[in-house]
Copies of this chain bind each other. A is one copy, B any other.
Amino acid sequence: MKLAVIGMGLMGGSAALAMRQAGVVDSVVACDLNPDEIQTSIELGIADEGTQDVLESVLGADVVMVATPVMTMEAIFRQAAPGLGDGAVITDVGSVRGAVQESASRALGKKFCRYAPCHPIAGGEKPGVRYANPGMFRGKNVISTSGLWADRDAVERMEGLWKACGANIIRMTAERHDEVFATMSHLPHVLSFAFVKMVTESRNPDELLRMGGTGFLDFSRIAASSPVMWRDICLTNREAISRGLRRYRRELERFQKDIDEGNADRLVAEFARAAQARRGLGPGPKGKK
């Protein structure tokens, strides 16, 4: 089975490596605008060959995975479409589904029935294929958001590849996906970026940053993520993120009031509500102790 990865970064590289190691992919073509990423992926044994040309990369591929910032995907789908074999599957790993799936329907033409999008809820803040980690998907959710347009065998093949990486498949509509991840992923990223940006605009940002403990470091880890990737997510899932941000700002207004007025009972009750919910989830995959 031949896989073409368009956008050979952390996510594309980790997926290719995981699928190779699981024995479900035999050869990998790397396509990237940056020849260094192609070179690195070949040196690391992730890819066998590479090209900067999208159309060339998909020729003869059984599965084409697009792993670039979401706003670039429509152009990539358009370039890839003429080269897709009839039995090939095309997928993407983008964090936004609605806008990307609409762009796929516009750009893929009659190949749209071979489009089987799957969003892995995994990743990392370090950019580049050199950080590729084939264990990244083990025990993680992969959200499959295919609709009625898709050939069943394309969806099942794509889901099977992710299962082979150790992931759990969860099916969801694109609309529900974009609501859920606006809250559970997109919003925390915006909040963390905004917080670190604010600190950099303090009078002594270097002193402040040096003083951050584990709480700050965990809270802000995602603020090291790719700015372009997150700009694209904010613009393509704009309505849902905007609603969440507005709701969170109202939440903070209430906390401000409780702190300013010294509402001890309300503060402890609200903190307790959060603590109880969060404790139920455990410390997280990197959890201490």
Q: Which residues of A contact B (CB under 8 A)?
A: 121-126, 131, 133, 140-141, 180-181, 183-185, 187-200, 202, 205, 207-209, 211-228, 230-231, 234-235, 238, 241-242, 245-249, 251-253, 255-256, 258-260, 262, 264, 267-275, 277-281, 283-289
Which of these, B122, B245, B262, B270, contacts A255 with CB under 8 Å? B245
Give 21 A-B contacts (CB < 8 Å), ordered by A residue: A121-B211, A141-B211, A187-B195, A192-B274, A194-B252, A196-B278, A197-B270, A198-B251, A199-B277, A214-B284, A214-B285, A217-B284, A221-B278, A221-B287, A223-B278, A226-B275, A227-B269, A228-B268, A231-B268, A238-B259, A242-B256
Q: Which residues of B contact A220 (CB under 8 A)?
A: 188, 278, 281
CA distance A281 to B131 in the complex (A): 17
A144 to chain B, nearest CB (A): 13
Cβ–Cβ < 8 Å partners of A284 in chain B: 214, 217-218, 221
A285→B212 CA distance, assembly (Å): 11
Which residue from chain B places its CB closest to the CB of A267 in the assembled complex?
Answer: B231
**Contact of A231 with B271 in the complex, beta carbons under 8 Å:** yes
* Chain B residue at smallest Cβ distance from A262: B235
A214 to B123, CA, bound (A): 8
Chain B residues with CB under 8 Å of A289's CB are: 124, 126, 131, 133
